[in-house]
Structures are given as C-alpha cells and as structure tokens.
A = this chain, B = another copy of it.
Amino acid sequence: MPAVTPIALVDDELAMVKYNDDGLVAAIVQDEATRVVLMMAWMNAETLRQSLDEGRTVFWSRSRQEVWRKGDTSGDRQFIRQAFYDCDGDTLLFVVEQEGRGACHTGAWSCFFRPFGGADGAS
C-alpha cells in the first residue's frame, strides 16, 4: 500500500475556503508522477477535513448525496501528497498518488480522455 501522508488541519487555511450555495467546493485531482489531471469532483467542509486528516481524497457525491470515500469500492484510492486552495478560495487542487487502474469510473486512467476536435484533438 502507498504511504499515507496526512496534512495538518490549520484553521486559518480552512477558513479561506469558500463554499457554493450547496455547501460544496470544486476539487481538482492531479497525478503526482505523470502530472496528468485525473478528475474533478466536489467536497464539503467535512469531507475536506477528512481528506486532509486521512491523507486520502474524500468527496461529496452530488448524484448520490452521500460521502464518497474515493476507492473504498473500486480499490482505486488517491493518496494525497500536496493540497492547495486557489487565490479566490473557491477551488482546491490535490496532487495525489493514484492507486490501481486510475481515477475514472469508466476504467480510464483520467476522466479527461475525450478530446475536442475529432479523434486527433487539434484540427
């Protein structure tokens, strides 16, 4: 199993995070090794604290309206190595060690596997 490296909960930092009307903040996940952007999902204040404290991404599933501890079902966990909040405090970035087959429920490594512009991407 990959190493777990929790990130300290600092109240002044957590207070900088702004949540939308649904109490959620966007969380981008990037693979540490390849720098590939893996996915984007949502966290609430509780699952952000859980993520930092457990060193694993924990999201709020908007479709299921429940806590979504990434990888508990699939085994494809994400171990957090760095976490950032942006200039406006309304988007988070997690740099992770992606376990298993990848981040996407389709089986793809990244959720961003479909380019615009036809199969070749740029026209």
Contacts and interface: CB of A to CB of B under 8 A. Distances in A.
One complex includes copies of this chain to the number of: 2
Contacts of A115: 82-84
Residue of A5, A104, A121 ringed by the most chain B CB atoms within 10 A: A121
A45 interface: no
27 contacts: A5-B122, A7-B123, A8-B116, A10-B116, A13-B114, A13-B118, A28-B40, A30-B37, A35-B35, A35-B36, A37-B93, A40-B40, A40-B86, A40-B91, A52-B116, A52-B117, A82-B115, A82-B121, A83-B116, A83-B117, A84-B112, A84-B115, A85-B116, A86-B112, A86-B114, A87-B106, A93-B112
A78 to B, nearest CB: 15
